[in-house]
């Protein structure tokens, strides 16, 4: 049995591969092939497949397929150079068909790929050793034809394996169903046996129960007599209890009546009601607690009435103060509006001042340039005066020359008179001419003297004018320096005015914010006033509620408050 169980499809294929390895070796010996390479290929593929099947149980069918197809490769290798080598390829197809016994499509596909790779490796890597020279393409077509046959066979075998697997699964399912039915039948048989045992046990228990029931019936008769006596005693006890209950009910009705009377007075607003007559002992606590509660309620209502009256008066005062405050706030808002308007006007004035200062600044710059121009003109006048003075001195020199000439002419005229006197008769006419020449020389000297005097006066005047011009230049420089200081002062004034304008604008913004806050305050005061009015109405309503009650001094709270 163990031997049969070990004959799995994988082991059978591996055993077939081992037998084929022996056949391959024998074939190599018979055909005279190189024994070592053939045996190496055969054992190498067999060992690889065996190791794969043992180390990877899930790949056991694939390992067996590798071992088996390796034998086909070794077999064709043994026929290397033999005329039957082409016929030896039939073994590939036969062994591929044998792989259906594994019932593994994966093993079939791997075996097909191995066959294809083996032939492709030889066809592509070593075509010159496989095909005759020049016949590569023709033999490649033959290889393709073999490949098509291989693929068709693989598809057919895969379909067969798939069908076999499906049938095997159906048979397995039917076997499982049959096993489940057998198990159910066994369970039903065991259950029937157990039921039979239970029935026998129940019959035995029924006999014992019948005996016990007869004993219990005897005990029940005794118990019925005892119960009859007990019911008689219970009837007597019930009568006594009903009498006690009736007395207690009367007491309770009395207590309830007195409580109802007190509560009716309380409903009418009389807080002075008290229960003075004592209750039965078990209800005395109720009376004392009622009286204490009424006392507490009376005190509380009195306090509420007083507090509501005070609250109404205080709310009235608060409302009056709020109204006054609201009016003041409105006045303050109006004042702030006026202040804001005044500040706006002040801002405009300051801005106008700034503009005036700017214009004055420009005017001072013009005056400064005019003063500088005047200084230039005066300087030129001073230079002209100096030139006049120089020219006057030159004129004075000429006048001196004229005086010298007139003096010499006078001397010559005097000499001519002397010579004329010496001349005798011809001399008088010549003396007249000499006298006339001397007169002309005298007038020339007098004129030169007058011109000198005029020149001296003119020089003095020129000197005076030059001095005046120098003083004027000094004064103009003073004016210019003074005017040059004006723009800086003007700039200071402009900056100061701008700062004042900014500060006034900031002040105006603050006042505007104060105005907005004041408006909000006024609105809040109005809301507060409305809340005070509501509070006063609430206090009045509360006081009206408390007036409904009557307290210990014998008068209603309405009279007391009034």
Residues that bind another protein (CB under 8 A): 33-34, 36-38, 40-41, 44-45, 48, 52, 55-56, 58-59, 62-63, 66, 69-70, 73-74, 77, 80-81, 110, 113-115, 117-122, 125-129, 132-133
The distance of closest approach from Cβ of residue 173 to another protein in the complex, given in angstroms and rounded to an integer, is: 28
Q: Smaller CB distance to another protein: residue 9 or 44?
A: 44
**Nearest 5°: phi and psi at 270?**
-85, 105
**Nearest 5°: phi and psi at 280?**
-55, 160
Q: Pick left, alpha or beta for residue 269 (phi over 0 → left; psi -120 to 50 → alpha; otherwise beta).
A: left
DSSP helix/strand/coil, 3: helix
Q: Smaller CB distance to another protein: residue 137 or 246?
A: 137
Question: Residue 12 CA to chain centroid, in angstroms?
Answer: 74
Rounded CA-CA distance 430/182 in Å is 205
The distance of closest approach from Cβ of residue 123 to another protein in the complex, given in angstroms and rounded to an integer, is: 10
Three-class SS string for 51-96?
HHHHHCHHHHHHHHHHHHHHHHHHHHHHCCCCCCHHHHCHHHHHHH
The distance of closest approach from Cβ of residue 141 to another protein in the complex, given in angstroms and rounded to an integer, is: 19
Q: Smaller CB distance to another protein: residue 24 or 462?
A: 24
The distance of closest approach from Cβ of residue 4 to another protein in the complex, given in angstroms and rounded to an integer, is: 29
Question: What residues have CB less than 8 Å from 422, skipping those under 6 apart?
Answer: none
Q: Smaller CB distance to another protein: residue 61 or 375?
A: 61
Q: Is the separation of the CB atoms in 39 and 28 below 8 Å? A: yes
Residues 70-107 as b or e (16 or more Cβ within 10 Å = b) = bbbbbbbbbbeeeeeeeebbebbbebbebbbbbbbbeb
The distance of closest approach from Cβ of residue 167 to another protein in the complex, given in angstroms and rounded to an integer, is: 27
The distance of closest approach from Cβ of residue 192 to another protein in the complex, given in angstroms and rounded to an integer, is: 52
Strand partners, 550: 270, 556
The distance of closest approach from Cβ of residue 106 to another protein in the complex, given in angstroms and rounded to an integer, is: 9
Rounded CA-CA distance 65/67 in Å is 5
Tokens of 359: 């214009």
Question: What residues have CB less than 8 Å from 253, skipping those under 6 apart?
Answer: none
Q: Smaller CB distance to another protein: residue 53 or 392?
A: 53
Terminal alpha carbon distance of the chain = 123
Q: Is the separation of the CB atoms in 248 and 242 below 8 Å? A: no
Q: Smaller CB distance to another protein: residue 81 or 424?
A: 81
Q: Smaller CB distance to another protein: residue 71 or 368?
A: 71
Rounded CA-CA distance 199/192 in Å is 10
The distance of closest approach from Cβ of residue 197 to another protein in the complex, given in angstroms and rounded to an integer, is: 56
Q: Smaller CB distance to another protein: residue 142 or 232?
A: 142
Q: Smaller CB distance to another protein: residue 44 or 465?
A: 44
The distance of closest approach from Cβ of residue 127 to another protein in the complex, given in angstroms and rounded to an integer, is: 8
């Amino acid at each position: 049995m163990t031997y049969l169980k070990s004959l799995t499809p994988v082991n059978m294929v591996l055993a077939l591969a081992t037998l084929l390895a022996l056949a391959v070796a024998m074939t190599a010996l018979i055909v005279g092939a190189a024994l070592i390479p053939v045996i190496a290929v055969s054992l190498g593929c067999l060992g690889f497949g065996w190791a794969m099947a043992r180390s990877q149980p899930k790949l056991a069918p694939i390992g067996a397929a590798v071992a088996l197809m390796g034998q086909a490769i070794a077999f064709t290798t043994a026929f290397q150079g033999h005329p039957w080598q082409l016929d030896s390829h039939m073994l590939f197809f036969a062994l591929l068909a044998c792989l259906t016994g594994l019932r593994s499509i994966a093993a079939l596909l791997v075996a097909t790929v191995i066959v294809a790779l083996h032939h492709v490796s030889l066809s592509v890597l070593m075509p010159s050793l496989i095909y005759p020279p020049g016949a590569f393409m023709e033999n490649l077509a033959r290889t393709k034809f073999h490949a098509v046959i291989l693929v068709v066979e693989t598809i057919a075998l895969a379909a067969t394996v798939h069908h076999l697997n499906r049938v095997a699964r159906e048979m397995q399912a039917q076997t499982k169903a049959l096993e489940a039915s057998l198990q159910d039948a066994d369970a039903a048989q065991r259950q029937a046996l157990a039921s039979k045992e239970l029935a026998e046990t129940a019959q035995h228990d029924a006999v014992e129960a019948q005996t016990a029931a007869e004993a219990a019936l005897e005990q029940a008769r005794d118990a019925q007599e005892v119960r009859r006596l007990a019911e008689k005693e219970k009837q007597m006890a019930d009568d006594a209890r009903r009498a006690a209950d009736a007395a207690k009910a009367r007491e309770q009705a009395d207590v309830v009546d007195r409580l109802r009377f007190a509560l009716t007075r309380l409903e009418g607003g009389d807080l002075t009601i008290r229960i003075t007559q004592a209750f039965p002992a078990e209800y005395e606590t109720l009376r004392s607690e009622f009286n204490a509660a009424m006392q507490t309620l009376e005190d509380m209502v009195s306090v509420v009435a007083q507090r509501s009256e005070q609250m109404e008066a205080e709310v009235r005062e608060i409302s009056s103060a709020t109204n006054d405050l609201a009016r003041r706030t409105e006045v303050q808002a109006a004042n702030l509006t006026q202040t804001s308007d005044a500040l706006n006007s002040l801002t405009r004035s300051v801005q106008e001042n700034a503009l005036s200062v700017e214009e004055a600044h420009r005017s001072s710059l013009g005056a400064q340039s005019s003063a500088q121009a005047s200084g230039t003109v005066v300087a030129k006048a001073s230079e002209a005066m100096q030139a006049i003075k120089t020219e006057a001195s030159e004129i004075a020199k000429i006048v001196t020359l004229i005086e010298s000439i007139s003096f010499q002419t006078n001397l010559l005229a005097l000499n001519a008179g002397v010579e004329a006197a010496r001349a005798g008769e011809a001399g008088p006419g010549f003396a007249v001419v000499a006298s006339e020449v001397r007169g002309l020389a005298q007038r020339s000297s007098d004129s030169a003297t007058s011109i000198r005097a005029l020149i001296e006066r003119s020089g003095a005047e020129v000197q005076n004018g030059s001095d005046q011009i120098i003083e004027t230049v000094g004064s103009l420089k003073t004016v210019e320096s003074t005017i040059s200081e004006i723009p800086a002062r003007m700039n200071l004034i402009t900056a100061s005015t701008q700062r004042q304008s900014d500060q006034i604008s900031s002040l105006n913004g603050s006042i505007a914010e104060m105005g907005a806050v004041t408006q909000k305050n006024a609105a809040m005061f109005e809301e507060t006033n409305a809340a005070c009015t509501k509070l006063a109405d609430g206090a009045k309503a509360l006081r009206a509620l408390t007036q409904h009650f009557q307290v210990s001094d014998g008068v209603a709270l309405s009279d007391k408050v009034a």
